[in-house]
């Protein structure tokens, strides 16, 4: 309970420091749809979009909003709760697999690791799917543990896997992973393969996967578009045939900064794989899942493997305890001191307040640590930009917004236009949107050239441009058009990676109160 309390306190302490990200705001809007109609949906222009992935994520957020009000803190409370539950389950599972020392150390590392803290404060899916994956791993382990199997064991597997899959469909990579690991570690013991309850659970899992993919396909309207991005991935692909294939992506990213000693502990743990079946079980799951996500998915993101973080930390803790015991095998009374020293060494690197080796490399671009692995990043400035615009906006103003959902989550509506001159985000063409494309988020008309932007400016007296995130905006509209905006628009506010611009028609009203 102390470890759960530490986990909760660390995350609650900075819960409202940063504004919603684009992904968080999407889940918040879906959650508001749950409160409005009972199921997650959001509005795209004149139509509604029903959720077709992350189906279970909006419901806990909707419950928190219903109970405590619609704020940033309440929207993120489920992530905090899932982190606390994960800490508790790590303690239970690691103690079952190894001993209480391993459970305590693994839980402590999860409570204080910057990567875990980041997602424990974020309303997107990773915190929830990590809990679901840990539950699934615990349920599947019973099949190879040698314990007598009961019908409810297979029911637990079905519930946990369905919870995991409907939280994030990318976790489907865990299904072949679990099956292969079961075959490898229970070779010659096929009782579970002959159990009708095992087949019932397997058929039930397949039925849910097929139903979800069918639903996702049915919801796609017959439109034309220029489509690019992760959301269009519907099946595995031979990513290793692509020029962008990066087999070392996850190894390089996760072995940096606060994870240096964690990576070293995993390497040390290899010496105990032969003698420790639990270590092999966890290690094979992480290894196979990482291989699948690297070779069969053409996109890479650290959040895709965060669901393995609890399993990794259990392995790290087990290796640390085994190393302490090995060092002091001739003096058992010194084992506690050795373990205390190794734990202190871990905490001296793998916490937000400790010595961070990545600080040595901040000036080296190739060794820069990803944002989610650090606890000192300011985040996006969507909140500040939206608040400043809402203070200044006047009737009849036109808003060009590059990230509609955060703006809408903060009460600013969907905006009017989306600006993109290069193919960097999916745009669609429907019968009602002709002759313009619409953006993939709010369904706003897309301005594709400077001439189209000039046309909008000629028809209105005041045009706002929300360039947030500003770095991404510069990439999708091009340097030439961005330079034109800098010359023609007034910079009203500049916060972090967000900028708010205002253009006032010289032939219309004066600019005396433009930025007052």
- Per residue in 386-433, pLDDT tens? 999 999 999 999 999 999 999 999 998 889 999 998 877 777 777 666
Paired sense of beta strands 446-447 and 418-419, if any = parallel
Task: Give the rounded distance of the alpha carbon of 165 from its chain centre.
Answer: 14
pLDDT at 17 over 70: yes
First to last CA, the chain: 52
Question: How far apart, in whole angstroms, are the C-alpha atoms of residue 449 and residue 460?
Answer: 17
Provide the strand spans (E) within 139-223: none
- Per residue in 199-227, pLDDT tens? 999 999 999 999 999 988 887 665 666 66
Q: Mean pLDDT: which of 62-76, 146-160, 435-449, 484-498 is highest?
A: 62-76
Q: Which residue, 123, 206, 136, 209, is CA-closest to 166?
A: 209
Paired sense of beta strands 427-429 and 438-439, if any = antiparallel
pLDDT, mean of residues 489-513: 81
pLDDT at 34 over 90: yes
- Per residue in 421-434, pLDDT tens? 887 777 777 766 67
What would the two tokens of residue 216 be?
């996702």
pLDDT at 357 over 70: no
Question: Are 455 and 505 in contact, with CB atoms under 8 Å apart?
Answer: no
What would the two tokens of residue 174 be?
């865990």
- The pLDDT, as a whole number, for residue 512 is 43
What would the two tokens of residue 224 be?
């034309």
- Per residue in 446-485, pLDDT tens? 999 999 999 999 999 999 999 999 988 998 999 999 999 9
- Name which residue leads in pLDDT, 334 or 258: 334
pLDDT at 230 over 80: no
Average pLDDT, the chain: 88
- The pLDDT, as a whole number, for residue 368 is 58
- Per residue in 176-187, pLDDT tens? 999 999 999 988
- Element containing residue 462 per DSSP (H, E): strand 462-467
């Amino acid at each position: 309970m102390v470890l759960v309390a530490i986990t909760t306190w660390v995350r609650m302490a900075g819960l409202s420091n940063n504004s919603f990200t684009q992904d968080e705001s999407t889940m918040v809007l879906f959650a508001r749809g749950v409160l409005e109609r009972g199921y997650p949906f959001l509005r795209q222009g004149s139509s509604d979009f029903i959720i077709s992935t992350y189906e279970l994520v909006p419901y806990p957020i909707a419950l928190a909003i219903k109970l405590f009000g619609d704020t940033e803190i309440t929207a993120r409370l489920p992530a905090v709760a899932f982190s606390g539950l994960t800490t508790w389950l790590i303690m239970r599972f690691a103690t079952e697999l190894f001993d209480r020392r391993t459970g305590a150390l693994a839980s402590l590392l999860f409570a204080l690791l910057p990567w875990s803290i980041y997602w424990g404060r974020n309303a997107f899916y990773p915190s929830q799917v990590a809990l679901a994956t840990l539950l699934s791993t615990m349920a599947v382990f019973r099949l190879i543990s040698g314990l007598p199997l009961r019908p409810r064991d297979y029911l637990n597997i079905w519930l946990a896997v369905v919870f995991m899959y409907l939280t994030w469909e990318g976790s489907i990579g865990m299904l072949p992973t679990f099956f292969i690991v079961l075959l490898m570690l229970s070779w010659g013991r096929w009782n579970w393969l002959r159990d009708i309850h095992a087949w019932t659970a397997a058929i039930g899992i397949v039925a849910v996967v097929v139903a979800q993919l069918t639903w996702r396909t049915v919801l796609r309207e017959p439109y034309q578009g220029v489509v690019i991005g992760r959301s269009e991935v519907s099946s595995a692909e031979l990513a290793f045939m692509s020029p962008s294939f990066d087999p070392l992506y996850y190894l390089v990213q996760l072995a940096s900064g606060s994870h240096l000693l964690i990576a070293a502990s995993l390497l040390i743990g290899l010496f105990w794989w032969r003698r420790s079946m639990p270590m092999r079980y966890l290690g094979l799951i992480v290894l196979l899942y990482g291989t699948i996500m690297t070779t069969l998915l053409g996109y890479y993101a650290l959040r895709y493997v965060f669901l393995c973080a609890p399993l990794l930390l259990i392995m790290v803790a087990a290796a640390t305890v085994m190393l302490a015991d090995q060092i002091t095998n001739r003096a058992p009374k010194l084992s506690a001191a050795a373990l205390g020293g190794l734990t202190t060494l871990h905490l001296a690197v793998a916490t937000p307040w400790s010595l961070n080796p990545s600080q040595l490399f901040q000036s080296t671009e190739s060794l820069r640590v990803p944002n989610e692995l650090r606890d000192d990043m300011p985040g996006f400035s969507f909140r500040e930009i939206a608040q400043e615009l809402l203070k200044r906006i006047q009737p009849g103003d036109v808003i060009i917004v590059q990230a509609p959902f955060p703006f809408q989550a903060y009460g600013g509506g969907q905006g009017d236009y989306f600006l993109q001159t290069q193919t960097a985000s999916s745009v669609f063409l429907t019968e009602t949107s002709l002759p313009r494309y619409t953006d993939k988020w709010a369904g706003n008309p897309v301005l594709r050239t400077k001439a189209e932007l000039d046309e909008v400016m000629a028809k209105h007296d005041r045009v706002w441009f929300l360039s947030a995130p500003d770095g991404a905006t510069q990439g999708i509209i091009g340097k030439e058009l961005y330079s034109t905006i800098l010359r023609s628009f007034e910079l009203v506010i500049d916060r972090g990676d967000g900028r708010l611009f205002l253009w006032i028609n010289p032939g219309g009203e004066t600019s005396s109160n433009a930025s007052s």
